[in-house]
Amino acid sequence: MLRLGRAAAGCRALAAPHPRGAGGHSKRSSSGRKEILINVHGGESSGIAEILMTRAHARNSLGKVLVNELFRALESLRCDERIRVVVFKSEVKGVFCAGADLKERAQMNDTEVGHFVHRLRSLMDEIAALPMPTIAAIEGYALGGGLELALACDLRIAASSAKMGLIETTRGLLPGAGGTQRLPRCIGIGLAKELIFTGRQVDGQQALSLGLVNHTVPQNDEGDAAYQRALILAKEILPQVDIASGMAIEGMCYAQNIPTRDRQEGMAAFREKRPPQFIGE
């Protein structure tokens, strides 16, 4: 059994994800449509959840609404022990995620840009910290923040026609949501520098040769070949995953932390608004 013990801090008693909605009550897109949906593939007993990006008019670019809805989707899945694999996919033909919403960002001042980029970075960390395996099914373009989202997943499947790249340098920017850290860990420092410095895009076959994706598949007439391969992989993983055991291990580790003097010092320092003085006890 693959026993997963990645952090699931902040778990609350949450309702099960609705088969086609991420829940929550914050502002929706200007069209009134949800930009992120959760689909439990094959019913709640299947163990596979899909996070679907549906922002067609903006090519799934990472705007405020989509990012907020992604956070809520992750929260709803994090503590659901019935979900054992999560697949990220696009419902928009020809694109996985086009990266940052630069039109929206142009309306922000410098302070707002800084806060939003920090929020994007936190979003990718939340994806990476999900306690169950995650798979990105990449059809079409995964650029900038879109590739950073895929890199935050454990596994990546790409159609051969997909296009991937950290293209920020071609816009006078730098990768700001984990790309400079996760890409080198995935393909090595030298190749990562080359792709970042040039802003070059690679297709699915090139991505496979670089080690950027786990598998590449020829695109089919329906345009969902990567998703279909991701489902096969998810079903292979299912019998090996034991999240309940991982959560139990996490609980035991946390229980050991509760009586420590360092935990008490950390809480006291927070209340007193001062730096903590840890002693290793």
Which residues have a catalytic role annotated? 100, 145, 148, 168
Task: Give the number of other Cβ atoms within 10 Å of residue 211's Cβ.
Answer: 11
Handedness of CA 93, 50, 239, 84 (dihedral sign): positive
Quote the strand ranges of the chain, DSSP E: 2-3, 36-40, 48-53, 85-90, 95-97, 134-138, 141-143, 155-159, 163-165, 202-203, 215-217, 241-242
- With b meaning 16 or more CB within 10 Å and e meaning fewer, what string describes 238-247? eeebebeebb
Q: State the SS3 of 37-105.
A: EEEECCCCCCCEEEEEECCHHHCCCECHHHHHHHHHHHHHHHCCCCCCEEEEEECCCCEEECCECHHHH
How far, in whole angstroms, is CA 206 from its chain's centroid?
A: 22
Q: Would you call 242 helix, strand, or coil by DSSP?
A: strand
